[in-house]
Amino acid sequence: MKVLKTVDEVKKLSNQWKKEGKTVGLVPTMGYLHEGHMSLIERCRKENDKVIVSIFVNPAQFGENEDLDAYPKDFEKDKALCEKAGADLIFNPDTSEMYSNPRTYVNIDGLSDYLCGKSRPIHFRGVCTVVSKLFIITKPDNAYFGQKDAQQLAIIKKMVKDLNFDVNIVGCPIVREEDGLATSSRNVYLNAKERKAALCLSKAITAGKLLANSETDADKVKNEMIKIIEAEPLAKIDYVEIVDNETMQPVSEIKDNTLAAMAVYIGKARLLDNFIKEGKN
C-alpha cells in the first residue's frame, strides 16, 4: 500500500492504472476511521481492481465555531486499518496541496438548503468542492459513501449527474455499534453518560421505522421520533424531518423512498441518524 501526499503523484498513478485497464474505486474520508469506513473500503475492495482511500480533514466544509481544530485524528491507526481492508493507496494531502488561494467552489442549490444545510450553511459547498477535486484527481470508476450522511449522498449523486462526472456513486448501509448507535468519528466526543444518552437516536429510528410500516402520516411518525428524543435530558434536537430522499423536500405522506433524518446534539457531539422507507421489489 502506498501513501501519497501530492495531487500530481496520485494523478500519475491513477492514469497508470487506467492505462493498464484497471478499475479504480475511491472511498473519501476525513480519517479517524471506524467500522462504517471499513465497510466502505471492504466493499470497494470487492468491486474494483484498485482501491484509493482519501484521508483529508476538509476545512472548507466547517463553519465558524465548528469542530475543525478538535476533529479527531490518528493517521497511524487509519493507515493500519486501510492496509488491513486491502487499500492500494492512501491519498493524504496537506491543506495547502488541496487549496491554493481558492476562488472556485461547487454548490448544489436546493438540495443543500435544508436539514444539515440549513444549520451548516457552507457545509455542502465545501463537501461538493472537495469531492469534485477528488474525482478529478483520482479518476475513480466507483466512489463509496455511507447512508448515514443521507443528504450528502443525495447531493453528490445530483452533482455527478448535473456535472457529467464519469463515476458511479455507491451508497452503503449504516453500520451500527452493538447497542444500535450509528458509527461516527464524533462518537469519541461522548463521555460514558453521554454515550448512553446517545442511544435515543437509534431508539427513535427503530420506533419511527416500525410506525412507518403502518402509518403514512409523516407528522405522526416525526412526532413519535421527537417524543423519544425529547425524553432524554442530554439531547438537544437540531432537526428531525421527513423528506423525499432525492429532493430533500418535506413530505406530508410517507411512501417509497421517503427519508426520516435527524441531527441531535449530545453534549458537544452533533450526531446523525436516519432510515429510508423503501418499496417492495
Please give the backbone phi and psi of residue 16, each rounded to the nearest 5 degrees, phi first: -60, -45
Q: How far is CA 227 from CA 93, 103, 203, 208, 218, in A?
A: 44, 44, 11, 11, 14
Rounded Cα–Cα distance for residues 141 and 139 (Å): 7
Please give the backbone phi and psi of residue 88, each rounded to the nearest 5 degrees, phi first: -95, -25
- Residue of 13, 33, 36, 37 marked active site: 37
Residue 83 CB burial class (10 angstroms; 0-12, 13-18, ≥19):
middle
Residue 37 bears catalytic tag:
yes
Contact 276, 256 (CB under 8 A): no
Contact 243, 251 (CB under 8 A): yes
Residue 280 CB burial class (10 angstroms; 0-12, 13-18, ≥19):
exposed
Q: Helices 218-230 and 199-212 sit at what angle, rounded to 10 degrees?
A: 160
Residues belonging to the active site: 37
